[in-house]
Chains A and B, each alone.
Chain A
């Protein structure tokens, strides 16, 4: 599991994940993910287009960091999931608590809304 961090215009942190967001993957990147997203305290978008697999520990990582960011008055938006990863996000109804959209443009628009 790889994680790349990019600062976008407007003070938005973009985290690009690549690989399997399963229990070993979430364990591998969890600390760096939290440092990138929560410690910086900016609005964040999470690029899932490079994620080939996700399970509940990956969902837990997204939810717990979104919640910590929310406590700081900031938001997280998830985008770019492929069909099967999106299916897991849908089954877990993640979009009820964390916005899930198709593209980076949609994610940035969601932060502005």
Chain B
């Protein structure tokens, strides 16, 4: 596996990935989640949502969690339960509680439109629950989606 790729393992109904903070690793992680969702027959809609949450949270970490050029990674865990799927993200980057961020303000015009905040909004949209905790110098963020 190339050094830039997400490394992962799948055991039963859990997928664990260690995803470096770069775009190639993000693409590899997305493919792993897609294949895992297909194998467990989670359905296209849930697979799409899982990939969306994965991308938004990893992009947030790539853009904001670490110093420019710093090679770090995010630990991602996808757990499938009877009635829910839980995606958790853990990293030792800058403390960041996504739940404290204000939702994006609807733009009155194209020139006033700002794209910041869309990713977090899309992550929270349709989620049953989101939880954040800063523990032992690490960010822990979990998104619970209905199956």
Residues of A within 8 A of B (CB): 22-24, 27, 53, 55-57, 59-60, 63-64, 66-67, 70-71, 84, 88, 91-93, 96-98
Contact = CB atoms under 8 A, between A and B. Distances in A.
Interface of B: 23-24, 26-27, 30, 44-45, 48, 51-52, 55-56, 59, 106-107, 109-111, 113, 115, 118-119, 121-122, 125-126
A78 to B, nearest CB: 13
Nearest to B23: A24
A55 B26 contact: no
Contacts of A98: 110
Given A22-B55, A53-B52, 17 more contacts: A22-B27, A23-B23, A23-B55, A27-B23, A53-B51, A55-B56, A55-B122, A56-B59, A56-B115, A59-B115, A63-B115, A66-B110, A67-B111, A93-B106, A96-B106, A97-B110, A97-B113
A102 to B, nearest CB: 20
Main secondary structure of the interface of B (DSSP, over half): helix
Nearest to A85: B48
A63 B114 CA distance: 9
B52 A88 contact: yes
